[in-house]
Structure 1
Amino acid sequence: MSTLSTLMVPTSRPRLGVGVVASVVFLTAIAPLATDMYVPAFPQVARELSTSATQVQLTLTTFFVGMALGQLVGGPVSDQRGRRLPLLAALLVVAAASIVCALAPTIAVMTVARLVQGFAGGWAMVIGRAIIVDLASGARLVRVLNVIAAVGGIAPIAGPLIGGLILQLSGWRVSFWLVAALGLAMTLAVAVTVPESLPRDSRHPGGLRTFLTAGRGVLANREYVGYLLVAGAAMGALFAYVATSAFVLQTMNGLSPIAYSVDFAVNAAGMTMAALVAARLAGRVSTRKVILAGQLAALSAGAALLIGALWFDTPLSLAIGCFFVLMTAQGLIIPNGGALASTAVPDHPGTGSAVQGFVQWVAAGTIAPIAGLGGAATAVPMALLITIGATASLLGLLIASRNKRLPAR
């Protein structure tokens, strides 16, 4: 609580208090809960809706597409209209789309509803991040975003466990009823705790031309593009792991589902702890140095996995160790890269957050199926993508660090 208590700032503008931070943490749970609770039910959904596994998998892809598009659109709209009302509207749409998913009679209805659910969820998440950028800056912004990432890391741990429990006690539709209830709870939390953080005199006029101008502006910022690559490439490496770790550990190495779930939880906990450590270091140690430490660890894990996949059939001990190092490293890279990207474009926080979210979710949606091309036969595609992602992230840090306008942070 000592870290959270430092978020209270005595200024005339709205304060970044514990309630606001807690609400934004709640918003970050949308994606992992809406996916991780649902994935274990894929076979059951296919049977009940009389469809193929591929079509059920498509509902996950459309959710990621919606997330990416929602973030791209929601940020600029909130720059024009303010944060609070668009955020409340998006959360109500999340709840409504979740109800449609729960009642879906066909896979086609489910697919469309998942697209809308993802779009509204991405819209809400990008506005939540923009609110933090409105109310914090510098080392404090880095600290807050790391705390949000750390606490939000609980959702990927809890999601599969909750989904499995739901399947044991009832059916897959209950998971969507639960997401709908969470959407309404988020709406209430935002209504009670989150003020309007963007004054009218700080808003930008709307229109496609304004959005394109703002987008060109943030993408012309060398530092922003560098940190965009830092976080986006790391996100791609992360989802290469998420998409294939079950095949590598269970199918290739014989780990039981329970043991795999424990290992997945431990890795997520490592990522959470790393983000908390990064939050404590904010303002004391250069954030770029923290990112670099994470990148070198991720690159080492990727290289070791690639060597193991090419010549040693990815032994269990190597895979478990490298996955833990990789996931822990992401806790140092992704939140800090995102924070420094936001700091680089203070005049367009909504657009900056939108482009950042769009790139990260496009990376997630693109890398995941490519990483699985090896199926259960080989881990080479996964290891190669992780190594490429870590290398690209390092390149992004180099690009950002060569910016001469700003001192190193």
Structure 2
Amino acid sequence: MVTLTVDSPQNLDRARLTSGLVATVIFLTAIAPLATDMYVPAFPRVAGDLAGTATQVQLTLTTFFVGMALGQLVGGPVSDQRGRRRPLLAALVLMAAASVVCALTPSIGVLMAARFVQGFTGGWAMVIGRAVIVDLATGARLIRVLNVVAGVGGIAPIAGPLLGAVILQLSHWRVSFWVVAALGLVMVVAVLVAVPESLPPERRHGGGLRAFAVAGRLVLANRRYVGYLLVSGSAMGALFAYVATSAFVLQSMNGLSPMMYSADFAANAAGMTVAALVAARLAGRVATRKVILTGQVAALAAGVAMLAGAIWFGTPLLLAVVCFLVLMTAQGLIGPNGGALASAEVPEHPGTGSAILGFVQWVAAGTIAPIAGLGGEHTAVPMALLMIAGAVLSMIGLLVLARPAR
């Protein structure tokens, strides 16, 4: 670990990719799943305590996703202009403050607004953390580190619901927001200790909306970057089709208990984590595009099997469990590698590239989740169609848009 002050020329020369820095970035990636998964089990109690409807409580999740998307879109370019460390620290402080407001909220409207700020600042922090990695690593090492970040960070979706359920059983739903606020302050300390300024002044870009628009045009003019953007965004959409409807498929349609559903959810998240860690080991040994394609084929097979089971066999439990595990494991091969290759295509604008990537992923998450539930809680056909569509679009991104130059 290194402890560095902000923007000192000597410190910029000493910026290195240390284990402490990688651990801190992993910590940052846990913001979204923890702030979401810890809170979801308490939805019915939140509605009762704040005199809100189920739809209003659901909107507090939507505003969080919107904030995440916008925070990443804005945070990356700002960090390209101002450097990484100061904007990152500011985002974490504001995120902790927004979490306190969530914990003290007197009404559902205030909670919606605070959740938006929480998501915005959390997305801001996540995209800067990713940009720091891109600043300090290239090639196979960049792919390896981003896969490790995704793999170890995958523990958060496993622990989040379990921690939230424990908090709900022993205390009040507001305590989950106090926990997120405390974690935000811990992140501030971690950044102060382990994250140096990784973007020296000579590599920064001028600020303003015009500069951001120029950088965005340059990034989006890169055909291969757009291809990998489609790879990751489509995979994210398929993932959230599962997240939004798996409870209905396994519990409402197949009679699985909430405890067994939580165990299955954790096992699927573990499969994604293991796949991402395996992909990290393969970086530099096996072509990353082949790893992504393997995941895409597996995800497509899971979607086709799920659709067939939903149409002709009433979505049997064993089929659903296997398809969900295959889909989630495939995401561990697709998402981190697609994001890493996208970042590698635009090394001159890492913050902007990372911001657009995060924006697309979270817009996909926020858009697909409600669409997946349009068929109601007694059919898996819409979810299966979205799984197939996500896999197909992801393959188009890899094989058509991001095809290697001749």
Do both proteins adopt the same fold according to a TM-score greater than 0.5, normalized to the shorter chain? yes
1:373, distance to aligned residue in structure 2 (A):
1.1
1:12, distance to aligned residue in structure 2 (A):
4.7
2:347 alignment partner, SS class: coil
Residue 376 (structure 1) aligns with: 377
1:167-196 alpha-carbon deviations (Å, 9 max, x no partner): 100110000000000000001100110000
| Structure 1 counterpart of 2:79, one-letter code | S
Matching of residue 158 in structure 1 with residue 126 in structure 2: no
Once residues 403 and 111 of structure 2 are traced to their aligned partners in structure 1, the CA distance between those partners, rounded to angstroms, is: 47
1:63, distance to aligned residue in structure 2 (A):
0.2
Once residues 216 and 273 of structure 1 are traced to their aligned partners in structure 2, the CA distance between those partners, rounded to angstroms, is: 36
| Structure 2 counterpart of 1:100, one-letter code | V
Matches within 5 A, 1:132-211: 132-211=133-212
Residue 19 (structure 1) aligns with: 20
Residue 250 (structure 2) aligns with: 249
Matching of residue 120 in structure 1 with residue 121 in structure 2: yes
Once residues 48 and 58 of structure 2 are traced to their aligned partners in structure 1, the CA distance between those partners, rounded to angstroms, is: 13
Matches within 5 A, 1:3-402: 12-402=13-403
| Structure 1 counterpart of 2:96, one-letter code | A
1:374, distance to aligned residue in structure 2 (A):
1.7
Once residues 245 and 262 of structure 2 are traced to their aligned partners in structure 1, the CA distance between those partners, rounded to angstroms, is: 14
1:400, distance to aligned residue in structure 2 (A):
4.1
Once residues 102 and 392 of structure 1 are traced to their aligned partners in structure 2, the CA distance between those partners, rounded to angstroms, is: 40
1:143–1:280 contact (8 Å) kept in structure 2: yes
Once residues 336 and 311 of structure 1 are traced to their aligned partners in structure 2, the CA distance between those partners, rounded to angstroms, is: 35
1:377, distance to aligned residue in structure 2 (A):
1.6
1:402, distance to aligned residue in structure 2 (A):
2.6
1:98–1:117 contact (8 Å) kept in structure 2: yes
1:313, distance to aligned residue in structure 2 (A):
1.1
Residue range with higher mean Cα deviation, 349-358 or 12-21: 12-21
1:77–1:206 contact (8 Å) kept in structure 2: yes
| Structure 2 counterpart of 1:112, one-letter code | A
1:91-114 alpha-carbon deviations (Å, 9 max, x no partner): 001100000000000000000000
Once residues 399 and 195 of structure 1 are traced to their aligned partners in structure 2, the CA distance between those partners, rounded to angstroms, is: 38
1:11-63 alpha-carbon deviations (Å, 9 max, x no partner): 95411000000000000000000000000000000000011000000000000
Once residues 288 and 400 of structure 1 are traced to their aligned partners in structure 2, the CA distance between those partners, rounded to angstroms, is: 13
Once residues 367 and 233 of structure 2 are traced to their aligned partners in structure 1, the CA distance between those partners, rounded to angstroms, is: 12
Give the structure-2-normalised TM-score.
0.96
2:373 alignment partner, SS class: helix
| Structure 2 counterpart of 1:255, one-letter code | L
Once residues 291 and 14 of structure 2 are traced to their aligned partners in structure 1, the CA distance between those partners, rounded to angstroms, is: 31
Once residues 13 and 288 of structure 1 are traced to their aligned partners in structure 2, the CA distance between those partners, rounded to angstroms, is: 33
| Structure 1 counterpart of 2:93, one-letter code | L
Once residues 191 and 402 of structure 2 are traced to their aligned partners in structure 1, the CA distance between those partners, rounded to angstroms, is: 37
Runs of 4 or more consecutive aligned structure 1 residues displaced over 3 Å after TM superposition: none
Identity %: 77
1:86, distance to aligned residue in structure 2 (A):
0.1
Residue 8 (structure 1) aligns with: none
Once residues 49 and 113 of structure 2 are traced to their aligned partners in structure 1, the CA distance between those partners, rounded to angstroms, is: 18
| Structure 2 counterpart of 1:163, one-letter code | G
Once residues 270 and 300 of structure 2 are traced to their aligned partners in structure 1, the CA distance between those partners, rounded to angstroms, is: 20
2:374 alignment partner, SS class: helix
Count of paired positions: 395
1:304 alignment partner, SS class: helix
2:231–2:395 contact (8 Å) kept in structure 1: yes
1:97-133 alpha-carbon deviations (Å, 9 max, x no partner): 0000000000000000000000000000000000000
Once residues 279 and 272 of structure 2 are traced to their aligned partners in structure 1, the CA distance between those partners, rounded to angstroms, is: 11
Once residues 186 and 386 of structure 1 are traced to their aligned partners in structure 2, the CA distance between those partners, rounded to angstroms, is: 35
Indicate the RMSD between aligned Cα atoms, in angstroms.
0.9
1:204, distance to aligned residue in structure 2 (A):
0.1
1:401, distance to aligned residue in structure 2 (A):
3.9
Once residues 23 and 260 of structure 2 are traced to their aligned partners in structure 1, the CA distance between those partners, rounded to angstroms, is: 31
2:228–2:402 contact (8 Å) kept in structure 1: no
Residue range with higher mean Cα deviation, 276-285 or 304-313: 304-313
| Structure 2 counterpart of 1:125, one-letter code | M
1:243, distance to aligned residue in structure 2 (A):
0.4
2:309–2:319 contact (8 Å) kept in structure 1: yes
Residue 6 (structure 1) aligns with: none
1:231-264 alpha-carbon deviations (Å, 9 max, x no partner): 0000000000000000000000001111111111
Once residues 400 and 353 of structure 2 are traced to their aligned partners in structure 1, the CA distance between those partners, rounded to angstroms, is: 17
Once residues 310 and 236 of structure 1 are traced to their aligned partners in structure 2, the CA distance between those partners, rounded to angstroms, is: 22
Give the structure-1-normalised TM-score.
0.96
2:226–2:402 contact (8 Å) kept in structure 1: no
